[in-house]
Structure 1
Amino acid sequence: MSDDHNVGYAKPPKSTRWQKGQSGNLKGRPKSKSEMILDAARILTQPVDARAPDGKTVRLDGVEAAYLSLCKKGLKGHKPSLLEAIRIMLEVGPAVQANANDEKVRREQILEKLERMGVKVPEDSKLRH
């Protein structure tokens, strides 16, 4: 062996070293963050059985059940849970209200179109409320 190249720990033979500009795993580790987010969304939107205060079982989305649990914990005196529930309510509330207003406007537009077509919608119809 020559003195300018020793083989040993952390010094592989020159013939087995990576070429200049090339590194270990060419394909690299697959990115999976987006799949993880999709999996979480899929899990949180699945229906969950929850017990109502009257003892009956109701079906809620996972997100609704988690928020309900957070609110209950906060109302029992857990201050961080209560503050988080209020923060979520303040953040999401305006979007929910806007969605409800959009739905009301859309319902009114449908009623107007039906009336122009000569269709009479009863006053007790779900479309009116």
Structure 2
Amino acid sequence: MTETYDVGYGKPPKPHQWKKGQSGNPKGRPKTRSDPIREAADILSEPVMARTPEGRTVSLDGYVAAYLALCKKGLKGHVPSLIKAIRIMLEVQPALDAKAEDALHKRERILGLLEKMGVEVCRRDVDGDR
């Protein structure tokens, strides 16, 4: 006696079903290409242990330690290192200034909203002066 097998949605014919142990994706997942810039950023953001002139050990981000080493080399007389450190400073400083300016505007906006709500606000300068 033969059993009948209903073929339909989600029930393919027996000869077209996966065999036991057969993969639905025989080639596997395609390998992703590595992004050298992302890898470099990951490496440079790892913490590095450094010693201060007083002898204490501190943890710095890799890029901070690299910049400090570049500056020290430049200050010892290696002109290309000094020029590179100055170029980095000139490129990064506007971004740092813009970030600080954004934070100041955000703080002022929040303080203004609090004053509108009737909350007494103590306004201070960025330096902490009143």
Same fold (TM over 0.5): yes
How much does 1:122 deviate? Answer: 4.6
State the TM-score, normalized to the length of structure 2.
Answer: 0.62
CA-to-aligned-CA distance 1:5-57 (integer Å, 9 cap, x gap): xxxxxxxxxxxxxxxxxxxxxxxxx67352x3222211211222222233222
For the residues of structure 2 that align with 1:47 and 1:117, how far apart are their CA atoms?
A: 43
State the TM-score, normalized to the length of structure 1.
Answer: 0.63
For the residues of structure 2 that align with 1:72 and 1:121, how far apart are their CA atoms?
A: 44
- Amino acid paired to 1:75: L
Aligned residues: 99
1:31-110 aligned at under 5 Å gives the runs 32-34=33-35, 36-110=36-110
- Amino acid paired to 1:112: G
Alignment-derived partner of residue 13 in structure 2: none
Q: Percent identity?
A: 57
- Amino acid paired to 2:37: I
Structure with higher helix content: 1
**Structure 2 unaligned residues grouped into runs of 5+:** 1-30
